[in-house]
Amino acid sequence: MEDWAGIRRLHRAEGMPIRAIARRMHVSKNTVKKALAAHEPPRYQRAAKGSAVDAFEPQIRALLSEFPDMPTTVIMERIGWQRGKTVFFERVQQLRPLFTPPDPASRTEYQAGELAQRDLWFPPADVPSGFGTRNRSRAWPLPQAKSYDGMGMGGSDGDRCGSGDRCLLHVAQRPSGTQAGGMDGSAR
């Protein structure tokens, strides 16, 4: 590792040629070329040996696909495992989630802004519809399941219904009296 850093320093900082670096560091020119081409220092990497369970994995997968809840000790007996328990238990623990069906009673979770609900609502109040007229039109409350500000779609407290969620009825009626969009479904 010190040779790698020294070779790169001599070549890049001091501008020494490859042959001179090889003579000074007492290494071959090919070693100098490899050190200059490498982006990181050389390190020892042992080849992966594998595990004793690797030979039995197809049998484990077959049993788990048929019986996903089968206890690990029973799987050990069925395939004839004669070695230590720990390595076998760890492998079955890794494989079992691939074969277990999803729990139908599990809680569904959504990311912020991923889901929204849209309901049709007939408000009890007359809504200004433009040109000095007012009518009762439908509104579409649109609260989000989650949001970053924790208050539905965000906005000021004046944009909220009695349920605490922001809705289009209150979004359309701005404090200045202007409308952001029509409540009859048309965009303005």
Pairwise pLDDT comparison (170 vs 115), residue with the higher score: 115
Among 89, 32, 95, which Cα is nearest to 63's?
Answer: 95
pLDDT at residue 142, as a whole number: 60
C-beta separation of 121 from 96 below 8 A: no
pLDDT in tens, 91-104: 999 999 999 888 78
184 pLDDT more than 50: no
pLDDT at residue 18, as a whole number: 92
Mean pLDDT of the region 70-94: 94
169 pLDDT more than 80: no
179 pLDDT more than 90: no
pLDDT at residue 188, as a whole number: 42
79 pLDDT more than 70: yes
pLDDT at residue 106, as a whole number: 76
C-beta separation of 68 from 100 below 8 A: yes
Tell me how long the chain is: 188
The owner of tokens 């079955």 is: 92
pTM attached to this predicted model: 0.38
What one-character-per-residue DSSP string does 127-144 give? EEEETTEEE---B-B--B
Confidence band of 86 (pLDDT split at 50, 70, 90): very high
Report which DSSP code applies to 163: T
Hey, what amino acid is at 66?
Answer: E
Pairwise pLDDT comparison (42 vs 71), residue with the higher score: 71
Contacts of 158 (CB under 8 A, 6+ apart): 170, 175
Domain residue limits, the chain: 2-37, 54-98, 112-188
Mean pLDDT of the region 14-26: 91
CA atoms within 13 A on the CB side of 22: 11
C-beta separation of 147 from 113 below 8 A: yes
C-beta separation of 116 from 147 below 8 A: no
pLDDT at residue 158, as a whole number: 44
Q: 65 is written with which tokens?
A: 């696909």
The owner of tokens 């900082």 is: 13
CA-based end-to-end distance of the chain: 69
pLDDT at residue 96, as a whole number: 94
pLDDT at residue 48, as a whole number: 81
Mean pLDDT of the region 73-80: 94
